[in-house]
Amino acid sequence: MNRAARLLLATLILSLGATLGPALAAPTRAAVTSDGPYTTNRFFADLEQQRVTRVVLSSGGMANVTLADGSGTRVRTLVVPPDGATLTRIRKAGVPLTVTGSGSTLGWLGQVLPLLLTGLILVVLWRSMRTGASSANPTAFGRSRAAVIAEGQIKLTFNDVAGCDEAKQDLQEVVDFLRQPERYHQLGARIPHGVLLVGPPGSGKTLLAKAVAGEARVPYFSISGSDFVEMFVGVGAARVRDLFEQARKSAPCIVFIDEIDAVGRKRGVNMQGGNDEREQTLNQLLVEMDGFSSGQEVIILAATNRPDVLDAALLRPGRFDRQVVVDAPDVRGREMILRIHARKKPLDASVDLGVIARRTAGMVGADLENLLNEAALQAARSGRTRIVGRDVEEARDRVLMGPERRSLVVREADRKVTAYHEVGHALAAQLLPHANRVAKLTVVPRGRAAGYMMPDADDRLHVTRPALEDMIAVALAGRAAEQVVFGEITTGAQNDFQQATSIARRMVTEWGMSDRIGKVALASDQGNFLGGGPQMLPMSEGTASQIDSEVKDLIDTAYTRAVHLIGEHLHRVHEIVTVLLTRETLSGEEFTALLDGQTLDPLPPAVPRPSGLAG
């Protein structure tokens, strides 16, 4: 139990005592005996008949009366009228009278405890307000929550960042300015006040900002855009002022605002029509950034995945003068990133980072770091002291598709359908002239997939129409194989249809590859790096109907090509499926050899996977 919990528990106990204390200390109105309550009239009657031998009066009118008669001595308690006539009658009867002073201890506590309880609650609240940087601390609302890293504490440099050479070149000017500002001032040059890093998640934007601070050896202020905004009006603006005040005192320095779109969104789009707290924070940020003079050596770096939603005033010259795109790396960049993350990992000679880079198209730096980490975990699970090639292959499949589900009981008929489906994909990928070749083929369930064909994708800057048509045919070849072989179709092609439809629709609406629709843009890219697909532009019902018809024609044509291709090479399909069901996994080289009519070396005996009815 922590200290705060103990204080609250003590408060509850004292609250209970303050509640019960007065009740326990309250005087009894009349003593109830076997012959009825002892009332004031009976007391005066006993007093006149000289049966009272002693009376003790306390504060509040409480009286303890001692009676003596033939049956013995008894003590009765009652409340007597607090007036002089009662005292006179007691004295005239010659009864000894004793008057006590302050009453019972419980009665005293019942009066004092509420005051003590109030004081204790105030102490508890005050201590909670002084706790760290808690959001419940009203005295710290207006203070910046930026993490401050002192000069020289960041050891990260540009040598630790790879795959973004152009971005590093742009940021090198910032480093040179922070190191030698007088060289720029003498020439009358104004270094950009702010640099906006844009790119997909995990591409290294935050890493680049730290590398700039490490290269320049200056203090580094790091804060997230969401840390400025609170439910209380004016808090965000106060935090912005405090952050920039600290930055000016520490100049030269770098201020890094991560996810700036949380506070820098376009103004004037509030549906309620008010100037909300976020807009006030943005206004203060604009004022502070515009207030820097050319002689102030404070550089603002910011990162976002959504440059399309930022306010135009934030992007104008004088604020964020420069945008640096940190996009997904190419094959050479991926290999360099893998080599950086492999520095402290014992790699076996069988690990070819160049091959891994070629087979991880589209991955960013965070994905590649995670891939090597998964490979290290796989090697540890297998009891090896070095990472071998199959560990990296397994890690890649695990990152892309999920873990293997070898314990899943699959019917033999389902395995056969899956094998023909995946071989259909692989055959089209291998034989169509513009398609990506096969990298791996398996019927082992992984994630939500019963099996999969992994293409050996490459980095393409421009994609031609024949290549897109081949992509659609490859996506539909699995369903085509099911139809040709079994004469019926299954539910296994759901994701294939989504891929084919997405490519065909973009060909028609974005890339002007439809003769019927023409070279018209009917969809616009959102301009962000989070995906989500393009947004359709306003159009007539007739145009929408033509788009649907054209998309259907593209898909039907590609499906017909896939069916003809499977039928033409059906004998090879049967042979490859037989081998695939036995080996469960084929590499791209093994699939190519089987397609050319070659045979594979037999596998060593292994424990067979369970089969039979599931559940």
Q: Which residues of 333-355 are buried (b: 16+ CB within 10 A; e: fewer)?
A: bbbbbbebbbeeeebeeebebee
Q: What are the tokens at 470?
A: 């081949």
Q: What are the tokens at 439?
A: 């990298």
For 429, counting Cβ atoms within 10 Å of its Cβ (0-12 exposed, 13-18 middle, 19+ buried), the class is buried
> Helix (H, G, I), strand (E, B), or coil: what is residue 64?
strand
State the Cα–Cα distance between residues 75 and 25, nearest whole angstrom.
Answer: 19
Q: How many CB atoms lie within 10 A of CB 197?
A: 29
Q: What are the tokens at 426?
A: 């692989």
Residue 297's Cβ-side half-sphere holds a number of Cα atoms within 13 Å equal to 22
**393: nearest Cα among 461, 449, 444:** 444
Return the ∠ at Cα 173 (arms to 167 and 176), rounded to 5°. 135
State the Cα–Cα distance between residues 449 and 445, nearest whole angstrom.
Answer: 6
Sheet containing 585-587: which strands, arranged edge to edge? 452-455, 438-442, 585-587
- Please give the positions annotated as active site: 422
**17: nearest Cα among 6, 9, 5, 28:** 9
**600: nearest Cα among 584, 613, 614:** 584
* DSSP secondary structure code for residue 448 in this structure: T
Q: CB–CB of 16/7 below 8 Å?
A: no
The terminus-to-terminus CA distance of the chain in angstroms comes to 47
**433: nearest Cα among 467, 473, 472, 475:** 467
Return the ∠ at Cα 248 (arms to 244 and 254), rounded to 5°. 75
- Residue with tokens 């007065």, as numbered in its chain: 22
Dihedral of CA 383/389/390/394: which sign? positive
Count the helices and strands in the chain (H runs, E runs): 20, 17
> Helix (H, G, I), strand (E, B), or coil: what is residue 119?
helix
> Helix (H, G, I), strand (E, B), or coil: what is residue 27?
coil
* DSSP secondary structure code for residue 28 in this structure: P
* DSSP secondary structure code for residue 103 in this structure: -
For 48, counting Cβ atoms within 10 Å of its Cβ (0-12 exposed, 13-18 middle, 19+ buried), the class is exposed
